[in-house]
Amino acid sequence: IPVFSLILDESTDISNTKRLIICVRFIDDNKVKTKLIRNSEIADGRADTIVEDFGKFIFLFLTSV
């Protein structure tokens, strides 16, 4: 059974731009690995903004597979 987790984190970069970072953490060859899968600019760090951007990412991912 594949085991993974998604990590979503809002951060502000040095130019004062809000960013949404999305990572996936999983086990590969008995080692825990973390991969960056998205680094996008967002308007603000509010929960509804983060959920909206994450929804767009999931839609793009699912329609490109």
One DSSP character per residue, 23-40 reads EEEEEETTEEEEEEEEEE
- Residue predicted with more confidence, 1 or 50: 50
Whether the model clears a pTM of 0.95, i.e. scores above it, the answer is: no
> Cα(first)–Cα(last) distance of the chain, in Å?
21
- Domain residue ranges of the chain, discontinuous segments joined by +: 4-64
Closest CA to 19 of 45, 46, 48: 45
pLDDT tens digits along 4-55: 999 999 999 999 999 999 999 999 999 999 999 999 999 999 999 999 999 9
